[in-house]
């Protein structure tokens, strides 16, 4: 596809930045690679990877400081204020302390898997950020490229794959520790991610249906004609709410942080970890918070799109500013969740995922697909979804009201006999 497009552009003589920008916005990939590879293209690619990685690490350190300061303000505390101005270097001090602490290895642990698990949690967070459009398309010299590390035609599928793979780090960490308490936390994590993966996928399918593309760049371009074209508005707000609930549970962020419930699991899956390996798990958590905030902005809030004033160079830096402001707003929302919402019980977590979120996302997906396929006639699917919802609510209510004795099915032709209930015996040993 890229070779065909480059041949067409070269034969027509239209190889200017405007043509390449239009091709990039249509989901055809980064225009940097339209005319093959050379040392300049490879150098630009390496620089983009390095800049994105460093920016993500710095943003993660700032996110940790930001969460501490915001929560301390909400709880009328001071927060970090010793290391550096306003405590900005506190995260660096904590990271330095973790590096120099002793790296412990439990006797019953699987050494290779135990050491590998923290990296399996960090790598997916880094890879997700590579497909996020941070800005527009710029030209330096004779090279036009996107402010995005990679723009594969199936970028949103990479996001879903990496969000599912991230749980392997947690699961293997608990299993390889050789202790039952980390294992309980890791089993909880795997069950939690499986429960919310279906709702997350169906919500993403709605975005793909309305934008007709799997490319994150094309999804952003489809929302570029004003905020009323944002997928938040086009899909009816509810898919955004479903996505936020599902992705918060995927990240095991409060109020869904049941993988490290201290009062139940003695610390959770990372109980046996120390030193920098312990810090990598929390690095992955905060890094995932930033990357998933960026994904929410990309899918529902137009990504880096916004009003561009008539100022020289505004088309380059204004999209980046819009992207940073939107992403910071969602990072603040995650901190707000942590400070304001109590942790759910595990049965409440499962009920929300299986009995409520999945049916609601499936019903809304049917309505969105019908409207896209049939226009306004697709609203006929609304009463169908409402009837199915009432039927499901009724079935769930009946099931919840039954006791264990009600579900005993007698054999045909045989009476059901139940053992008599024994009365409690008095402590003195007398008659009941």
The whole-number mean pLDDT for each consecutive block of 10 residues of the chain, a chain of 432 residues, reads 36 46 61 86 93 94 93 90 89 90 87 91 91 90 88 91 84 88 83 89 94 93 90 94 93 83 68 88 91 95 91 88 95 93 88 92 94 91 91 82 60 54 50 46
| Residue 227: DSSP 8-state | G
pTM assigned to the model? 0.85
- Beta carbons within 8 Å of 77's beta carbon, 6+ residues apart: 71
Report how far residue 155's alpha carbon sits from residue 409's, in angstroms, rounded to the nearest whole number: 51
Query: Considering only CA atoms, which of 143, 196, 201, 173 is closest in space to residue 24?
Result: 143
| Residue 354: DSSP 8-state | I
pLDDT of residue 407: 55
Report how far residue 403's alpha carbon sits from residue 73's, in angstroms, rounded to the nearest whole number: 48
SS3 assignment, position 301: coil
pLDDT of residue 188: 81
Q: What is the dihedral angle through the alpha carbons of 83, 86, 88, 93, rounded to the nearest 10 degrees?
A: 20
Cis peptide before 255 (omega within 30 of 0): yes
């Amino acid at each position: 596809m890229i070779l065909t497009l480059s041949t067409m552009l070269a034969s027509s003589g239209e190889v200017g930045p405007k043509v390449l920008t239009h091709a990039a916005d249509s989901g055809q990939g980064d225009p940097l690679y339209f005319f093959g590879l050379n040392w300049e293209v490879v150098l630009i690619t390496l620089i983009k990877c390095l800049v994105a990685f460093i920016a993500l690490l710095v943003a993660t350190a700032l996110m940790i400081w930001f969460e501490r300061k915001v929560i301390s303000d909400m709880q009328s505390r001071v927060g970090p204020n010793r290391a550096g101005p306003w405590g900005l270097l506190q995260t660096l001090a904590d990271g330095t302390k973790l590096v120099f602490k002793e790296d412990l290895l439990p006797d019953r642990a699987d050494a290779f898997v135990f050491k590998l698990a923290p990296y399996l949690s960090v790598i997916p967070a880094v890879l997700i950020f590579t497909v996020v459009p941070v800005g527009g398309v710029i030209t330096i010299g004779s090279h036009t490229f996107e402010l995005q590390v990679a723009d594969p035609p199936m970028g949103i599928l990479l996001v879903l794959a990496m969000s599912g793979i991230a749980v392997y780090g947690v699961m293997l960490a608990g299993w390889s520790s050789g202790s039952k308490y980390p294992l309980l936390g890791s089993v909880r994590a795997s069950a939690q991610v499986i429960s919310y993966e279906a709702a997350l996928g169906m919500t993403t399918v709605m975005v793909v249906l309305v934008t007709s593309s799997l490319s994150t760049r094309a999804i952003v371009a489809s929302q570029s004609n004003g905020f009323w074209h944002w997928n938040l508005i086009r899909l009816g707000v509810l898919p955004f709410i479903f996505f936020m609930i599902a992705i918060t549970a995927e990240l095991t962020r409060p109020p869904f942080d049941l993988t490290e419930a201290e009062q139940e699991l003695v610390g959770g899956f990372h109980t046996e970890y120390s030193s920098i390996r312990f810090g990598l798990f929390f690095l992955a958590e905060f890094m995932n918070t930033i990357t998933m905030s960026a994904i929410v902005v990309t899918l529902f809030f137009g990504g880096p799109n916004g009003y561009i004033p008539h100022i020289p160079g505004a088309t380059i830096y204004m999209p980046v500013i819009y992207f940073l402001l939107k992403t910071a707003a969602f990072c603040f929302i995650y901190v707000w969740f942590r400070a304001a919402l109590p942790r759910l019980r595990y049965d409440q977590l499962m009920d929300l995922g299986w009995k409520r979120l999945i049916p609601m996302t499936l019903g809304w997906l049917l309505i969105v697909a019908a409207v896209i396929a049939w226009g306004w006639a697709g609203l006929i699917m609304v009463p169908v979804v409402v009837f199915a919802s009432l039927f499901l609510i009724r079935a769930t209510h009946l099931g919840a009201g039954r006791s264990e004795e009600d579900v005993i099915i007698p054999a045909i032709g045989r009476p059901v006999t139940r053992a008599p209930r024994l009365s409690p015996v008095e402590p003195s040993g007398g008659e009941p």
